[in-house]
Amino acid sequence: MASLGGKVAIITGASGGIGRAIAERLAKDGATVVINYGRSAEEAENLVQFIKANGGQSLAVQADISKRADIRNLFQQTIEKFSQLDILVNNAGIANAAPVADVTEEQFDQVFAVNVRGVLFTLQEAARHINNGGRIVNVSSSTTLYPAAGLAVYIASKAAVNSFTEVLALELGERRITVNSVVPGPTTPGMFAKRSIEEQQAAAASSPFGRIGRAEDIADVVAFLVSEESRWITGQHIVANGGARF
């Protein structure tokens, strides 16, 4: 796979889990990585130091992705520090579990503020600032394919992300910018780590590989989607779930 040397990447929600694995992989491939975090300042700074210790360049920027002003600041700091933007990975997301009959306005607003509003306005800033030939990857969820009871609001938010992906791919194609989503199945570390042991065992059993995903499994797919080799792939949803139907 071609080097990402000379490329600058923003990764939202990158201080831990899948986001951290993506940051480490893109830095390993040569990209300068901007680590966005919400509250985990220590974890974000530790990641920056890890990347630098391994010969990479990195910067941590706090931004609440539910707030448009914070999103603008994230992009402004990136451009001011590194003078360019080539890659955006929209990884930040939250989930609240509740049956449809019990969903509160607060739960709905919390999830959609980050997963839909935040992604939309992050994509808007990327469309304005990313270089021609750039790469945008949105992290979706296999629950859009295999729904689970109690996750209606989360699933709906990720379905919106899939729609943003398809539309923005059409809008940015003239600039040779690809826009895709990666669709992880059950993965740890990540949100699925909070599920019960029984659910994790069931998810592992549903894959022909007999395990659930690892964060680096997803990071490797993202690394391909932001590479030059992915130039003919856009508006697509790449399912990375180990063949699990879960």
| Residues acting as catalytic residues | 154
Residues 6+ apart with CB under 8 A from 143: 151, 154, 155, 158
200, 192, 71, 89: which is closest to 143 by C-alpha? Answer: 192
Angle, helices 68-82 vs 119-129, to 10°: value is 30
CA angle, 136 then 189 then 112, to 5° = 55
Residue 170 neighbours by CB distance under 10 Å:
11
